[in-house]
Structure 1
Amino acid sequence: MILYKTNQNWLGDVSHLFKSWTMTRIVRAVGIMGVYSLVACLVIEKMNWGEYVQLNTSIFSLLGVILSIFLVFRTNSAYDRWWEARKQWGALVNNTRNFAIYVDSMYPEEEEDTRHWMASHVSNFCIALVDHLREGTELDKLIFLPKEEREVYEKKDHIPNYISQQIFKKIAADHREGTINEGDYINIKIQHQSFLDILGACERIKKTPIPFSYAVYLKIFISAYALLLPFALVTSFHMMAVPLAMFLFFALLGVELLGEEIEDPFGLDCNDLPTGDIAHTIKKNVFEILENRKPIATHERELYEKVF
């Protein structure tokens, strides 16, 4: 995710935009549009076909309004998904802190092994969730994972769910043994349940993109509008129709592709959520609460760019 301070540096903020893979795609598409418009305008101008190619620009103005309405809905739906994902990860930060505080109050300081086990598993739940929402959990990123336990993890398809299950089994076992009283058990159970609620909400966002028919229709609409645009502009603006067509296409395509980029907020695009950094912030918070120390540094800030 690109971090910046609003109202600080106009040109500096604009320059961040060109670090995005989405902007690279837009620039390439606009370049192709420029070549297409140049060829179309040259043919019409050199062959004197202007009288035969007369498209009313007012029709394109009306179509532009209709297309803008579609794009507004597209952008709003994509941003709603991005913001909902951010709220879920914000809730995960708060709930893991609350969970760690409950664990800290229920287990005496002498039970160092239990505190370390809880801190490790809560941290691993968040770290595993990051990759689970991308291409699948990488076990090498998990911390304090014994070899025998790793072999069990390798057989699991849903690592965050399994880690959550192990945490609750530990809590339930301690409750049966009397280590945790009934009141504490009920309270910490609610905090634990919130982990799976957040997991389910993130999976819902990940697996429910904008309806396919709507997305395809919008792409066809933009493509058809762009292909006909030079023919509508050339009779009035002649060769100036080329930069005008490129600029209009830049505006329309940019809104569509930026919406596509933030529609899945869990990836590594420049405008996606910094879920990896959030997960490691949770790790530091949990270890500080339960072991009164920072964990061993095992994470560098993620590089958010499209990788092929």
Structure 2
Amino acid sequence: MIIYETNKHFLGDIAHLSRSWTMQRMVRSTAGVAVVTTLFCIAVMEFELAIHAPSTIFSLLGIVLSVLLVFRTNTAYDRWWEGRKQWGALVNNCRNLAIAAHVIFPEGDRQSRYQMATMISNFCIALKEHLRSGTKVDELIHLSPAERSRYSERKHIPNYITTLIHQQVQVMYRSGAITGDDTRNIKPHTQALLDIAGGCERIKKTPIPFSYSVYIKVLILGYASMLPFGLIRDFGYFTIPLVTFIFFTFIGIEMMASEIEDPFGLDCNDLPTGDIAHTIKKNVFEILEVELEKEAPEKKELYEKVF
């Protein structure tokens, strides 16, 4: 996710656009439209062809296209914001689960506290990759070779980790270390982990309908292709920058929506789920008062950050 300070670096924020992957795609598409428009204008102006269409038609089409793009961007942003709310709920429930475990578990049972902190942390780390291309077991922390082998056999590792958390609580209950009331108090926070995972999977696996997304792209391309016919008579060669800018505006809105509709990836404006997962890890180890073993330096996610 791009991190920036609002209302502070106006020109700097604009300059960043040149380094954006989405902007580079937009520029390539816009350049192609500019070339085609230039060839059209040269053919009409130099050979004095009587080719034109009423500009009012394009005004009406522009309004229709604008309405569709507003709906498109609102829908994409709703998905992005829903994903952020789910990960915000994950932060809260992981902290509450760690606090409940800290209060409930016997003070001298540092092994149980350590296991709980490790499992909560691994759930978050596993979930961020589960929402991308699949959990990477090598990223999980404090696992023995045997545990890594068992994790590798699972297709849905967040499910497996939640099961282990429930099992640990039940084992402690049966041994008399905690009471039945303790298990009931800790259960809602444990169940919330899978509720959040399911909410994120719903966003991930239910993209914008393909036909709707393709229709908007076709409409933008068709509008930009026909627009020179409506402007050439009134604007001459100035039609080239006008058509280029209008296409740049419409295709930019569409590409921005496409970028944020899957908020769990590694595009520049996707959610910083990796950073959130590591923050939760540090929080739960601190809450449970167990030491977090030294690890290799955390790898920064691929998305670019602007300060």
TM-score band (shorter)? over 0.9
SS in 2 for 1:136: coil
SS in 2 for 1:144: coil
Matches within 5 A, 1:135-284: 135-284=133-282
Q: Deviations over 1:119-151 (max 9, x none)?
A: 111100000001000011111111001100111
Q: What one-letter code is carried by the residue in structure 1 that aligns with 2:10?
A: W
In structure 2, do the counterparts of structure 1 residues 17 and 293 end up closer, same or farther at CA, with 3 Å as the change threshold? Answer: farther
Q: What one-letter code is carried by the residue in structure 2 that aligns with 1:65?
A: I
Give distance in 2, aligned partners of 1:18 and 1:164: 43
Identity %: 54
Give distance in 2, aligned partners of 1:17 and 1:268: 17
Give distance in 2, aligned partners of 1:128 and 1:76: 29
Give distance in 2, aligned partners of 1:278 and 1:152: 26
In structure 2, do the counterparts of structure 1 residues 295 and 55 end up closer, same or farther at CA, with 3 Å as the change threshold? Answer: farther
Give distance in 2, aligned partners of 1:129 and 1:285: 17
Q: Deviations over 1:59-101 (max 9, x none)?
A: 1011000000000000000000000000010010011000000
Stretches of structure 1 lacking an aligned partner (at least 5 in a row): none
SS in 1 for 2:19: coil
Give distance in 2, aligned partners of 1:292 and 1:82: 34
Q: What corresponds to 1:112 in structure 2?
A: 110
Contact 1:40 1:231 in 2 (8 A): no
Q: Deviations over 1:246-300 (max 9, x none)?
A: 1000000000000000000001111000000000000000111113545535413
Alignment: residue pair count: 303
Q: What corresponds to 2:19 in structure 1?
A: 19
Please report the TM-score for the alignment, with normalisation by the length of structure 2: 0.96
Question: Residue 52 of structure 2: which of 47, 51, 54 is its match?
Answer: 54
Runs of 4+ in 1 over 6 A off after TM superposition: none
Please report the TM-score for the alignment, with normalisation by the length of structure 1: 0.95
In structure 2, do the counterparts of structure 1 residues 174 and 204 end up closer, same or farther at CA, with 3 Å as the change threshold? Answer: same
Q: What corresponds to 1:301 in structure 2?
A: 300
Question: Residue 94 of structure 2: which of 89, 93, 96 is its match?
Answer: 96
Q: What corresponds to 2:288 in structure 1?
A: 290
Deviation, 1:14, is 1.5
